[in-house]
Structure formats: C-alpha cells, structure tokens
C-alpha cells in the first residue's frame, strides 16, 4: 500500500534529492487528476529545528521522528556521507523500527548510507551513486551493492543511484504499488519518462542505460517507435552508419545488452503496460509489441517477468485508469 510517506532530514541534506522525493510524493495532484494526494510528512530529529543543506539554505521539518512510526514508506534523501556512528542514533533507531514493522524503505543516492548505518543493507541487494558504491560495499561487506543499475527493488527496500535515478526509483515504486496510470500522470506532470527499468528483482533485473552516442540514441528511438516492425542487427547498423561489427560492439558497450536483447526487453515492457492499462487481447498485444504471435509473447514474457501474461494482468491491471490509455498502430503506448 502507498498512502503515507515520511521523509526524514538531517544536517547536510542534498536539496535535489529532497526536492525530487517531495515532488513525486508531496504534491496534491487530485485537483487536476484522479490521483489521490499522499499523506506526506517531512520530519527531523527535533520538530521545528532547521537542518542545513549543501547549498547554504535550511529546511525546517514540521514533524519529529514519531511521524515515521505509521508511514507506509520512509523515503531517505541524499546527504553528506559521514561515519556510521555520526548519523543521529534516534534516526537509525526509528528506521529500524520502521523496517521491523514492514514499512517500505526508499533511498535516493547516498541515502543508502543512512540505511546501511541502521544495519538495513546487510545481505540485501542495493545500489547508490557509482562514485560511492565501493565505499558502501566496504562499509557493509555483506550487502550486495550493484554499481551499474539505476535502482534496485528488493521488496521492502528500494535503493537508487545518483540524482535523477531517484525519480526513476520513486516512479517505479508508485507504479509497483498503484499501477502505470497513476505513475504516468505523475511523470507527465513532472515532464520525465514514466518508466526506466532499474532492478525490480521479480521482473527485470537491471536497467538499460541511456546511451551517450547520438547515433545509438537515434537507433534506440527508432526501435522504440517501431516495436511492431522486424529489425535486424544489419539494418540497425546501417541506420547508425556503422559496420555491423562496430555497431554490435558499441551497442553492448553502451547499453550492456545486445540489440536483440534490448528490443525484446522493450517489447516485454510494452506488453506489461498494455496488460496493465488496456483490455486488448493477448493476440493484439503480441502483434503491437512485435512478437508476432501470442505463443512467442508468452515465451518471452514468462522468461523476463517470471509469470504468464494473463497472471500478470490479473495482478496488475488497473481497475479504473486515471487517464485513458490506447495502443497506436505503430505500437507506441500513448497515455
């Protein structure tokens, strides 16, 4: 359930991560959509006592740490990385209580160090900004730190990499708990992509990083816009104005997967969104996603997601989408 979110702040707060968590969870969007307002609270070790930020401003929390005691989600923003014994003991104890009662813990960037200081990363897959990943692993040897992903979803523990990856993790959590329609409304009003996969353990194990090459970016956009069409490495290499061998090598180097693996993952993602937000038949979804047949869709979907499409639809279909969703003939999902 995702109804109440509490955001604890301490000295050395990073304002961007504080802002993105507040933007996703703290704004009342019910005035222009069917998305309900979250019960959002900012808390500190002492209510009403300002905390410092890294940019010379201050943030004054309205609530004390008791606000964490019944929140569905505790969202920990980034901040200055300090020795574990220098984090407020009251905060670490409150985080441990939240974990014990089953609250979802979400961290942005270096917020993972706060969770680690509370002993909540031991034996768990997690991530943080790539610059800090080695230090996080050194401090918590039993944690399974992945420096390459945008975020890691381990059920009641969601950790994200640096800066904008916190947006991805937050929207992912909204999508996981409330469905694509709600996440898409929030994303569109933030003017950000509604879904960049980043580590949902049960379904997708790692993200597809954005490419730094304009030529490859054009190829990714071309494939995304034409999922229902057939593509080959040769045709994509010609589009990128590269030899087939160079294109294949560059693609793997920048995305971590082969072109066909990337395309299959995008087709499965398209099918997931269609299953969640439309009543289209499995055959129609298979065709629009580019799988060609329901049998092929079921094969790839089960391999990527771990369940059959019909089972996924039963679990994640939105009963009443906040806004209409339809599938164009060119296979792009429109919300």
CA 234-239-243 angle, to 5 degrees, is: 50
* 139-143 contacts, C-beta under 8 A, 24 or more apart: 139/84, 139/113, 140/116, 143/116
**Which residues, at least 6 apart from 152, have a Cβ–Cβ distance to it below 8 Å?**
125, 126, 127, 146, 158, 159, 160, 198, 199, 201
Per the listing, tokens 């590269």 go with: 242
Looking from the CA of 160 toward its CB, the CA atoms found within 13 Å total 26
Q: Where in the sequence numbering do the catalytic residues fall?
A: 109
In angstroms, the CA 131 to CA 21 distance is: 21
Q: What are the φ and ψ backbone dihedral angles of 189, each rounded to 5 degrees? A: -75, -20
């Amino acid at each position: 359930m995702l109804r109440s979110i509490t955001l604890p702040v301490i000295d050395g707060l990073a304002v961007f991560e504080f802002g993105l968590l507040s933007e996703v969870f703290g704004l009342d969007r019910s005035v222009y959509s069917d998305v309900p307002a979250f019960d959002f609270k900012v808390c500190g070790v002492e209510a009403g006592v300002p905390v410092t930020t890294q940019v010379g401003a201050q943030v004054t929390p309205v609530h004390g740490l008791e606000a964490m005691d019944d929140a569905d989600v505790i969202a920990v923003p980034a901040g200055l990385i300090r020795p574990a014994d220098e984090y407020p003991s009251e905060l670490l104890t409150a985080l441990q209580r939240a974990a014990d009662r089953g609250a979802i813990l979400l961290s942005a960037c270096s917020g993972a160090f706060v969770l680690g200081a509370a002993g909540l990363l031991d034996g768990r897959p997690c991530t943080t900004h790539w610059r800090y990943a080695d230090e996080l692993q050194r401090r918590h040897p039993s944690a399974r730190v992945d420096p390459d992903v945008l975020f890691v979803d381990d059920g009641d523990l969601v950790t994200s990499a640096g800066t904008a990856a916190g947006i991805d993790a937050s929207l992912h959590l909204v999508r996981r708990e409330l469905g694509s329609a709600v996440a898409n409304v929030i994303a569109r009003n933030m003017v950000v992509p509604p879904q960049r996969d980043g580590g949902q353990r049960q379904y997708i194990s790692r993200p597809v990083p954005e490419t730094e090459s304009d030529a490859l970016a054009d190829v990714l956009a071309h494939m995304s816009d034409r999922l229902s069409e057939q593509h080959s490495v040769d045709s994509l290499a010609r589009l990128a104005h590269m030899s087939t061998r160079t294109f294949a090598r560059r693609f793997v180097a920048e995305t971590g997967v082969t072109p066909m693996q990337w395309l299959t993952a995008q087709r499965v993602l398209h099918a997931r969104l269609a299953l969640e937000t439309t009543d289209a038949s499995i055959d129609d979804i298979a065709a629009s996603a580019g799988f060609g047949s329901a049998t092929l869709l079921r094969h790839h979907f089960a391999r990527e997601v771990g369940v059959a499409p019909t089972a996924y639809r039963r679990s994640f279909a939105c009963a009443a989408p906040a806004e209409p969703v339809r599938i164009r003939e060119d296979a792009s999902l429109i919300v």
